[in-house]
Amino acid sequence: MKSTIIAASLVVSSGLSLSQTLPSEQRINGSLTAQAFEPVRQALQECTVIVYADERAHIRKIYGMMVSENGEFVTKASEIADVENLKARYAGKLYTELSVIGVDEDWDIALVKIVGLEESQASVMAASSQLPMGSWVISNGASSRERARVRVGVISANTREIPYSGHDLMLGVVLKAVDDGVQITELAEEGGAEGAGLQVGDQLVSVGDTQVSKLADLATSLKGCKAGDKITVKVIRDGEEVVAEVPLTKRPGGAPLTRNDQMSGQFSERREGFPLVIQHDTPLHRRSVGGALLNLDGECVGLNIARATREASYAIPAEKLSEIVIVIRNSH
């Protein structure tokens, strides 16, 4: 029933000709559209935490979502990992002392306590995060200090794993194609390959579980890996097979940008390596993740964890989020 009401309220009779453009307030995230989601906005307001990293608490770093009645909230861990003196605003009040209870690196989720806050409104978890394709979902937009603003979108893909692509990793070698395979021509100084004992002139046999006979095979071999992992590399040297365990490191400057990336604006630095995500098309900014993803009843179906591309944002399903919070609490 609510879906019908929302849909009806979004129908605007504007009398536009084909040569005119739709006024900004009538677009999917315009002010008139947002009015239709006012009841959900209020639910979002009650559970939203604004996290700051700057000294004056003027520039939002990321959002958080309340998960308890005594000031505990969850947020995207990698965005606050290297930040000192975190601050948070909840219910219009600024708090200058936060304590990170624990982090789940697999899911990129941190559980944080606002010191001195003993009464808060936890987000109401939905009975199920499984929504039909095309279902409306609501997230935080560019909220002010006092008022949450909504961004809306729809579920746009099946819930699934987003593995590491390996595109931002390197072995620390320069390769060239030769008649019978791929050969190392240079080693990065103090790189993983040099430290593992690989040498110029070595011919690659395999990297991990992937047989390497052409340059493109190397990219395939790193799928599912992350920086810090060690990978088994087999080479032929002077007619004999040599095996090395090579630590993977991040490429300087990160992964090469695809054409889609170049048009995507500010996407999250970590946008892969998640065991399970809900995908929706809400146009979030990288600083707009970390907060709740709500259904039309104002219930939490997930935690926005990454702005992935210009047409995709990811959220951790509510059921998994609840499990993660329990595990972090019990382990600290």
Residue 2: phi and psi, rounded to 5, are: -65, -35
How far apart CA 210 and CA 225 sit, in angstroms, is 13
- Domain borders along the chain are 21-161+270-330, 169-250
Superfamily of domain 169-250: PDZ domain (2.30.42.10)
Residue 153 has pLDDT above 80, yes or no: yes
DSSP labels, 56-69: TS-SEEEEEEE-SS
Q: Residue 13 — pLDDT band, cuts 50, 70, 90?
A: very low
The pTM score is 0.85
Q: What angle do CA 225, 230, 232 make, to 5 degrees?
A: 100
How far apart CA 90 and CA 69 sit, in angstroms, is 12
- For 330, half-sphere exposure in the C-beta direction (CA atoms, 13 angstrom radius) is 6
Weakest-pLDDT range from 102-111, 147-156, 197-206, 312-321: 147-156
How far apart CA 48 and CA 304 sit, in angstroms, is 12
CB 12 within 8 A of CB 32: yes
pLDDT for 18-62, tens place per residue?
A: 557 877 767 777 777 778 889 999 999 999 999 998 878 778 899
How far apart CA 160 and CA 277 sit, in angstroms, is 6
Q: What is the mean pLDDT of residues 195-209?
A: 96
Q: What percent of the chain has pLDDT over 70?
A: 92
Give the domain 21-161+270-330 fold. Answer: Thrombin, subunit H (2.40.10)
The predicted structure's pLDDT at residue 17: 54
The predicted structure's pLDDT at residue 18: 52
How far apart CA 11 and CA 178 sit, in angstroms, is 62
- Of 309, 304, 305, 313, nearest in space to 265 by CA: 309
Q: What is the mean pLDDT of residues 177-187?
A: 94
The predicted structure's pLDDT at residue 148: 80
Q: What is the mean pLDDT of residues 289-306?
A: 97
CB 206 within 8 A of CB 213: no
Q: What is the mean pLDDT of the chain?
A: 90
H helix intervals, the chain: 2-9, 31-35, 38-47, 192-195, 216-221, 259-262, 318-330
pLDDT for 71-86, tens place per residue?
A: 999 999 999 998 888 9
The predicted structure's pLDDT at residue 111: 98
Matching residue, tokens 């604006």: 265
Residue 5 has pLDDT above 90, yes or no: no
CA dihedral 304, 307, 312, 318 (to 10 degrees): -10
Residue 12 has pLDDT above 50, yes or no: no
DSSP state, residue 262: H
Q: What is the mean pLDDT of residues 237-250?
A: 96
CB 305 within 8 A of CB 271: no
CB 193 within 8 A of CB 249: no
The predicted structure's pLDDT at residue 155: 98
Residue 152 to residues 20, 21, 136, 137, 143, Cα–Cα distance (Å): 24, 20, 7, 6, 14
The predicted structure's pLDDT at residue 254: 75
The predicted structure's pLDDT at residue 14: 47
Collapsed DSSP state (helix, strand, coil) of residue 100: strand
pLDDT for 252-290, tens place per residue?
A: 877 777 777 777 678 899 999 999 999 999 999 999 999
